[in-house]
Amino acid sequence: MSFKNSTAEKTTITRDTVTFEQETENLYEAIVMMSKRSNQMSVDLKEELTQKLQEFASTTDNLEEIFENREQIEISRFYERLPKPVAMAIEEFLEEKMYFRRTEEAPKTI
């Protein structure tokens, strides 16, 4: 999923839990799925941001240079304005863009 093109809400909104149950038939299972997807997105976003900020890393710590780096500030502001990973995961789930499968239970041995 492209984080930059996400249409997820940027603020908190109230959701109807019944809509989460429709696909999985279990509210808690749906929440776990969205949580795991949110964690994946969060890690991806953090890695992407870290890579972009590494370009501006300097070996010397000069306080004046840190405050004057406008490109680094703009990159950070862009990522701060993105919707939160939880909102993006909820959007994926509701639009049925999320793939999930249930593993079969292990056969019981007697």
Nearest C-alpha neighbor of 49 from the set 88, 15, 81, 87: 81
Instruction: State the Cα–Cα distance between residues 47 and 24, nearest whole angstrom.
Output: 31
- Tell me the pLDDT tens digit for each residue of 9-68: 777 788 888 888 888 888 999 999 999 999 999 999 999 888 888 887 666 666 655 555
Instruction: State the Cα–Cα distance between residues 39 and 45, nearest whole angstrom.
Output: 10
Domain parsing of the chain, residue ranges: 19-94
pLDDT for position 34: 92
